[in-house]
Amino acid sequence: MADSLKPETIGKHFTLISGVLDDAIRDGIISSNPASLVKMPRAKEKFKGNTLTAGEAKTLLTAAKDAGEPIYTAILLPVVYGLRRSEVCGLRWQDIDFDNGAMHICNTVVKGDMKYIEEERTKTKKSDRVIALVDFTVPHLKALKDEQLAAGLTLDKVCRWSNGDDIKHDYISKKFNKLLKANALPSIRYHDLRHTAASLLIVSGATPQQTQEFLGHETVSTTMNIYAHCLNEAKIETAILCS
């Protein structure tokens, strides 16, 4: 079980099995409970996502902009909007409403064992969310849309190559890692850009509930478990400023 299940899940199985064996003792079937000899796996430490500072995030965005499309947009979206990689690859122009200043996260592209799978659904029901467009990203997104139209492309995915081909997950990860290395930035995962967006949001004063809605977490407790350290840092910074 330890090879494939979390310690918490194993604990639930253990409780059930141990209870059944206790019943067997009461019924006179066995004389002792062998489950009492089991050494349970230790619970893993709570996950703490790595993040970039505001300055490091700005350096990365500048480097990505110099590198051009499609990597710039593929990095801009998670840094500013906290999108997952599947959401970045699945974002369509029809999901962006410039008139009302909103972006609907509702379509994903995931990497399967044999092929890429596109679904008009998100990781969870709560992940299907509407995010307000951030002002400084709007000119770029509008210009990118105009470029794709001028190139004779039908408006489909936001992040794609100049010939209309979709970008792939592996390309994003490899290019992202090269940009980090070339600019002496911390070695983090692409998914950590989502954590960066969340931490910057929290430090700027967003509440846990606002951050939950922004990221599309199922519950606010999920947000708190992952970003409690960011909330503590924000409180410390506030205390220092007020002292």
pTM of the model: 0.72
Q: Are strands 116-119 and 108-111 parallel, antiparallel or unpaired?
A: antiparallel
Edge to edge, the sheet with strand 102-105 lists 96-97, 102-105, 129-132
Q: What is the pLDDT of residues 56-67, one digit of tens each?
A: 999 999 999 999
Q: What is the DSSP letter of 134?
A: P
CB 193 within 8 A of CB 76: no
User: Which amino acid is residue 29, in one-letter code?
Assistant: I
User: Which amino acid is residue 146, in one-letter code?
Assistant: D
Instruction: Quote the crossing angle between the two packed helices 71-81 and 169-182, to the nearest 10°.
Output: 80
**Rounded mean pLDDT of 147-164?**
95
pLDDT at 155 > cutoff 70: yes
pLDDT at 241 > cutoff 60: no
The reply to whether CATH 1.10.150.120 applies to domain 54-236 is no
Q: What is the pLDDT of residues 33-50, one digit of tens each?
A: 998 888 877 766 555 668
| Peptide linkage before 34 cis (omega within 30 of 0) | no
Domain ranges of the chain: 7-37, 54-236
Alpha carbon distance 197, 54 (integer Å): 9
Q: Which H or E element spans position 102? A: strand 102-105
Q: Are strands 129-132 and 102-105 parallel, antiparallel or unpaired?
A: antiparallel
Q: pLDDT value at position 240?
A: 35
Q: What is the pLDDT of residues 167-220, one digit of tens each?
A: 999 999 999 999 999 999 999 999 999 888 888 887 777 776 777 787 777 676
